[in-house]
Amino acid sequence: MLKYIYILFLYLVFANPLIARTENNQQVYQVYEQLKAAIGDKSREWPTLKIQVDGRQVLAYYRSKNLIVIDQKTIDICHTLGARETDALAFLLGHELTHFYQHLHWQKAGFAGGFLADRHAFEEHKGEEKEADLYGAFIAHVANYQPTKVVPDLIEAIYKGYNLNAQIKNYPSLSERKTIAKDVCKKVDELIHIFESANYFMAMGEYASAASSYAHVLQFVKYKELYNNLGTALIAKAIQIPVGKEIIFQYPLEIDQEIPLRDGVEMSRKTVLAQAILHLQTALQMDAKAYNTQLNLVSAYLLAKDYPKANDLIKQLEMLTPTAKEKARIYLLKGIATAQQGNKKEGKLYFEQALQLSQEENIRLIANFNLNAIKGLFKKRERASPTSPAAQIQGIDLTYQNDFPYKEIYLQDVFSPTSKVIELHYLPQTLLCQIQSEEESFALLRTTATKERTANNLGIGSTVQQIRAAFPKSKGKVLANSQGYFLTYPSHKLIFRMTANGRVVEWGTFEYY
């Protein structure tokens, strides 16, 4: 009996760490899958991820084997960071996935792009290492991790865990590696803010500024959603470029088309659409089955009056057993296609079928708008009321131009040879973003601070029902995104980022100058 008790004791002593380690290792694979999903590129053969007990190398990408190897000690080090463990793993694995994308830089057969490269290799490829840090951190953010807050502590823990002195001879110093990482994290935070601001610009109807912002981010990181968003912004802008006498329809891009042209556009609709199609096709090269991107591409073809390509793609999409929402969007596109070619009666039937299929507000808004467009009826855009409730965030009133210390970034205007300036001013849980161009300037102030409320006591946690009750005579504009939707009230200069179940997770106010 004592023998069995002794065996059970040994099992309890040694099995629990083993179970814990197994769970940690499963988490590594889960993080890796989320990063791949965030990049969205299904056209490539992803590297195999392997965990090995080596104790010598943190992790590395081997191009000749298409293999990413992470050391068990590295996983254990990440585990010591507690709640930030997955953020650390996401940054490290994202770093090595960048080396996978940098294949043109790593031509030497068998070369290992390692996180802890020796000094010679690090100095020779310092640019690539910086790029790997930046891309890895940004993609980790897209996958819903928070890497920039953990990177300095992670690097220090790695040097300590692998018994590397701060000034070890054969490796970059700890201070040097941390300085590079901190600089990269600042750049990543900047790109994240520009990307998120671009999503808000889309919801506001500022498509030119959104496109310029997406294009700026695209210089540093490349992934499917970014190409799709840029293509969508260009389509939205192309709709605003008049071409002769035509019926102006709303397209199922899940964005508002009613805000009139604000920015000067020096390109024709044809040129803008050619760029949009190129970006959408790039996104589809990464994931040929991306249904929303294909629907956006149909919109581009219809605007370009390329009906054969539009109809062929619609037929392909109809064969893929779409959801009710996707089918409703197809009916909207078929309605536009037939009406544009002169068959308004059939177009009307398709718009009515879209209404019957989907109860989603954005689908119904587009269908009703297009039904009225066929009849020649258009609603006037709501104007801002002088009695609109003022919204102040951290005491800032955007009706007055304030002099703040901004971080200035120049954006190339994708529609003209001129530049836009985007200015970022950071506050606790709040960002003030201002766009300046030759045509006009506007500011967007958005926050996640729970204590900040509108004059109607709306804020974080408010429901869509509460928002609509606060503005009973105003129609909100809806822009869907992957995690929910934006709800914008142009007449009150308020914008809310909502979860899929209709709660505010961030909100803001905007002003034009």
Quote the tokens at residue 208.
């030119």
Q: What's the pLDDT tens digit per position in 365-393?
A: 889 989 999 988 765 555 545 445 557 89
Phi, psi of 25 (to 5 degrees): -65, -35
Q: What's the pLDDT tens digit per position in 78-130?
A: 999 999 999 999 999 998 888 887 653 433 333 344 555 444 444 554 566 77
The answer to whether residues 87 and 145 touch, using CB atoms and an 8 Å cutoff, is: yes
Q: What's the pLDDT tens digit per position in 203-246?
A: 999 999 999 999 999 988 888 888 999 999 999 999 888 777 77
Per-residue DSSP letter, 145: -
- Give the span between the Cα atoms of 453 and 466, in whole angstroms: 13
Quote the tokens at residue 96.
């090595």
* DSSP SS3 for 432: strand
Quote the tokens at residue 93.
């694995």
Tell whether pTM > 0.75: yes
Closest CA to 197 of 217, 224, 222, 225: 217
Q: What's the pLDDT tens digit per position in 48-61?
A: 999 998 767 788 88
